[in-house]
Homo-oligomer: A and B are copies of this chain.
Amino acid sequence: MKIKCSKVNLLNSLNIVSKAVSTKTTLPILECILIDVYADSIKLTANDLEIGIETILDGEVIEMGRIAIEAKLFNDIVRKLPNSEIFIETTPDYNTIIRCEKSKFVIPSKSGEDFTELPQIEKEKSIELSQFSLKEIIRQTIFSISDNENNKLMTGELFEVKDGVLQVVSLDGHRISLRNLALKGNASNVSVVVPGKTLNDLSKIITGGVDDMVTVYFTDRHILFEFENTIVVSRLLEGEYFKIVQMLSMDHKIKVRVNNRELFDCIDRASILMRESDKKPIVVSIKNDNRMYLKVDTMMGSMNEEIEITKDGEEIIIGFNPRFLTDVLKVIDDEDIFIYMRDAKSPCIIRDDAGTYIYVVLPVNINAGAY
């Protein structure tokens, strides 16, 4: 095998596939990147058996062949080479020679035959959306997946396509995030649960451009994202996702309109006085004087603040985990938000009129008499 390419192209391709390199494994081959050189193309692949990424490297084929190179070392070397042409070739005893200007590295490598190929995906059901939309919809929902492996389905996100609308849902038992996105073109109806790690990795390698498209293919066991010279294949999580319809529809008694930024800053400040281990709530009192009073009282000190709001309905005193609120507020771009509540024990819903997003947050029990 022998190829020639620019440092910039090689580094870009390595950055993409590296997301699928296993970091904790006892199988050394999973720590490698496979270079597959065909008559007319150079393909880089990484595969940690959960997620696999393939990308085509823009370079010149001098001799066909394949080799598996330890990813971290390969990355480190390429990053430090001069910004110039790089030649890569292999010796019969599985050494890789990397040359650039006057620099020559020789590193032991592995036979490409030991590498696990990506699964073949049938391209039947698909949707298409922009990289921008995909990156945004992941950012706006990924924070409320669970990291508790005991309930595997909670560690992923529901991707459901129905009548040309993609709905993405995540939940962790304390809160629900839901985003709807109208798709263009033909869209197959599907319902799958995608691992959170896949979505996090994908987010880092898609450019997020408004005009750069991604095609997403679905099978019963896999999801495949195809964009530019790259494909990302991931296993799906098996099982039926949670029914959430009932949680989203609620007769509210109070509706509050509040400036998103002001509320975020106030809760963010209050969080200084809280340690995760405390589990102390922020207490929100909504009064008939069209003000929201926020209060925190912990071992470290106390904070009081008020924010002007507009309100329909009764007064209420309700407690929240402050991070559950700030997580939601920071992914909503609207200047003002609407909060719907029923009583101090019922879930609180933040949603827009257009139905683009619905966020549900469970309150924390407080002794309302004390406030």
A181 is an interface residue with CB less than 8 A from chain B: no
Q: How far is the CB of A79 from chain B (nearest CB, A)?
A: 9
- Contact (A305, B269) CB under 8 Å given A73-B300, A300-B73: no
Q: How far is the CA of A38 from the CA of B306 in the complex (A)?
A: 33
Residue of B nearest to A300 (CB): B73
Do residues B305 and A106 form an inter-chain contact, with CB atoms below 8 A? no
Do residues B103 and A301 form an inter-chain contact, with CB atoms below 8 A? no
Q: How far is the CA of A304 from the CA of B105 in the complex (A)?
A: 7
Do residues B266 and A103 form an inter-chain contact, with CB atoms below 8 A? yes
> How many identical chains are in the complex?
2
A119 is an interface residue with CB less than 8 A from chain B: no
A207 is an interface residue with CB less than 8 A from chain B: no
Pick from B73, B76, B102, B272: contact of A76, CB under 8 Å: B272
A356 is an interface residue with CB less than 8 A from chain B: no
Task: Give chain B residues whose Cβ lies under 8 Å from the Cβ of A266.
Answer: 103
A82 is an interface residue with CB less than 8 A from chain B: yes
- Contact (A77, B269) CB under 8 Å given A102-B307, A307-B102: yes
Pick from B73, B81, B273: contact of A301, CB under 8 Å: B73
Residue of B nearest to A81 (CB): B269
Task: Give chain B residues whose Cβ lies under 8 Å from the Cβ of A107.
Answer: 300-302
Q: Which residues 239-278 of A sit at the B interface, judged by CB distance below 8 A?
A: 265-266, 268-269, 272-273
Do residues A104 and B307 form an inter-chain contact, with CB atoms below 8 A? no
Task: Give chain B residues whose Cβ lies under 8 Å from the Cβ of A301.
Answer: 73, 105-108
Q: How far is the CA of A304 from the CA of B98 in the complex (A)?
A: 11
A303 is an interface residue with CB less than 8 A from chain B: yes
A80 is an interface residue with CB less than 8 A from chain B: yes
Do residues A305 and B102 form an inter-chain contact, with CB atoms below 8 A? yes
Do residues B103 and A303 form an inter-chain contact, with CB atoms below 8 A? yes
Proximity bits, A280-324, B CB within 8 Å = 1, else 0: 000000000000000000001111111100000000000000000
Q: How far is the CB of A290 from chain B (nearest CB, A)?
A: 14
Q: How far is the CB of A308 from chain B (nearest CB, A)?
A: 9
Do residues B269 and A103 form an inter-chain contact, with CB atoms below 8 A? yes
Task: Give chain B residues whose Cβ lies under 8 Å from the Cβ of A82.
Answer: 265
- Contact (A303, B105) CB under 8 Å given A82-B265, A265-B82: yes
Q: How far is the CA of A300 from the CA of B273 in the complex (A)?
A: 49
Q: How far is the CA of A298 from the CA of B82 in the complex (A)?
A: 22
Q: Which residues 301-351 of A sit at the B interface, judged by CB distance below 8 A?
A: 301-307
Do residues A268 and B80 form an inter-chain contact, with CB atoms below 8 A? yes
Do residues A306 and B102 form an inter-chain contact, with CB atoms below 8 A? yes
Task: Give chain B residues whose Cβ lies under 8 Å from the Cβ of A268.
Answer: 80
Task: Give chain B residues whose Cβ lies under 8 Å from the Cβ of A77.
Answer: 269, 272
Do residues B103 and A73 form an inter-chain contact, with CB atoms below 8 A? no
Proximity bits, A172-210, B CB within 8 Å = 1, else 0: 000000000000000000000000000000000000000
- Can you name 6 A-B pairs with beta carbons within 8 Å? A77-B269, A80-B272, A104-B303, A104-B305, A105-B273, A105-B302
Kindly list the 5 A-B residue pairs having the minimum CB-CB distance in the complex, ordered from nearest. Answer: A107-B301, A80-B269, A103-B305, A76-B272, A106-B302
Q: 4 other contacts beyond A76-B272, A102-B305, A107-B301, with CB at 8 A cut-off?
A: A103-B269, A105-B273, A105-B301, A106-B301
Interface residues of A (CB under 8 A from B): 73, 76-77, 80-82, 102-108, 265-266, 268-269, 272-273, 300-307
